[in-house]
A and B are shown apart, each in its own frame.
Chain A
Amino acid sequence: MSQSELTMSTGHEVLMESSPYGMEKKKLGMWIFIVSDACTFATFLFGYGYMRVGSQNWGTPFEFSSILNGIIMTFVLLSSSLSMLAAVRATQAGQKASANKWLGLTMLLGTVFAILHLREWFKMIGEGWRLFYNPLGGAAQFGACFFSVTGLHLTHVISGVIALAFIARGYNQGRYDSSHVETAGLYWHFVDLVWMFVFPLMYLMNAAR
């Protein structure tokens, strides 16, 4: 029984006080998590931003090929948000086959994003980049900033793909309903929106011009 059903009055008594936000507790919980996670990312990005602006010899290592890779990754992640919206809508309409198709596409796009990101990482590691070593001779903090911020985001994407797989399995087994898919969707969109900051700040700000 959903919380909204529980909050309905059964004749004279109210079984549970309704949420002031008018939403289920798992969704409210996800919002609280998202706010705290946004602050975590903001802390990383503020720290990076001040170092980037304050350093004279920061360097701009990203050639256009890396920027193009970032643009493709952005396109993939934004497309996955659209497929996630379609998945939520399909679950709300009770269209199981369609929901599975869209959830599968979202997971696939998330995986493609992770592969593209790891490819970029391995390329940089191959060029000699390390957490505290800059092969171009500029500020050594670049590696720490880049790998920590993008690594944190990549962890979120991979976690999201795994979470979606669990949700999809539970949905197919009838353990989860559309509200679970919607709550997972909130997380997925959040990860997408964080990338809207990570891409310009970590890639574009360090593009070779």
Chain B
Amino acid sequence: MSSNQELSMGSYAGIVIGLMIIVGIEVVLTYQHLSVRTLLFALLCLASLEAFVGVMYLMHVKYENRLLFWTIFPATLFVLVLLNYLWPDAYRMARMSLGR
């Protein structure tokens, strides 16, 4: 690890508690009678925030060589965005074939 232990175990515990609080917010949002799309968007945003915090601190990317961050994140994000374009098209094609 190149982190040289920047954070204490107490700080890590704080991060984990913070992640649990976000999970609690997700559960509360679930029972707020939001539309499916709104709820999905809200949950995805919160889950992405959790993942970002986890990757940066629990997986120590914040303390690694910056090149790792700039190699991993843009490439992964690019693939995920492409997936996001690909899937709706597959769904549209499935619907078109059903409509025949």
A binding-site residues for B, Cβ under 8 Å? 20-23, 31, 35, 38-39, 42-43, 46-47, 49-54, 67, 71, 74-75, 78-79, 81-82, 85-86, 88-89, 92, 182, 186, 189-190, 192-193, 196-197, 199-201, 204-205, 207, 209
Contact of A205 among B20, B40, B59 (CB under 8 A): B40
CB distance from A43 to the nearest CB of B (A): 6
Whether A85 touches B68, Cβ cut-off 8 Å, given contacts A53-B37, A186-B59, A189-B59, is: no
User: Of B16, B31, B51, B75, which one neighbours A207 at CB under 8 angstroms?
Assistant: B31
Q: What would be 15 A-B contacts, judged by CB atoms less than 8 Å apart?
A: A22-B65, A23-B64, A31-B72, A42-B80, A43-B83, A46-B87, A53-B36, A67-B27, A79-B16, A81-B16, A193-B51, A193-B54, A200-B26, A204-B30, A205-B43
How many angstroms between the C-alpha atoms of A63 and B85 in the bound complex?
Answer: 33
The 10 closest A-B pairs by CB, nearest first: A200-B43, A22-B65, A196-B50, A204-B30, A193-B54, A189-B58, A197-B47, A46-B87, A189-B59, A193-B51
Are the C-beta atoms of A201 and B58 separated by less than 8 Å? no
A31 and B68 contact, Cβ closer than 8 Å, known pairs A67-B27, A71-B27, A207-B31: yes
Which listed residue (B1, B13, B31, B67) contacts A209, Cβ 8 A? B31
Q: Report the number of A-B residue pairs with Cβ-Cβ less than 8 Å.
A: 123
Inter-chain CA distance A178–B40, complex, in Å, is 40
CB distance from B22 to the nearest CB of A (A): 8
The answer to whether residues A52 and B50 also contact, given A81-B16, A196-B19, A204-B27 and a CB cut-off of 8 A, is no
Q: Which of A23, A50, A85, A207 contacts B58 (CB 8 A)?
A: A85
Q: CA separation between A207 and B16, bound complex, in Å? A: 24
Interface residues on B, range: 35 or more
Query: Hey, which chain A residues are within 8 Å of B5, CB to CB?
Result: 89, 92
- Kindly state whether residue B97 has any CB partner on chain A within 8 Å: no
- Whether B39 lies near A205 (C-beta < 8 A) is yes
Interface set, chain B 29-46, CB cutoff 8 A to A: 29-31, 33, 36-37, 39-40, 43-44, 46
A89 CB contacts on chain B under 8 angstroms: 5, 9
Contact B50 A81 (CB under 8 A): no
Which chain A residue has the least Cβ–Cβ distance from B49? A196
Asked if residues B1 and A199 are in contact (CB atoms below 8 Å), the reply is: no
Contact B87 A200 (CB under 8 A): no
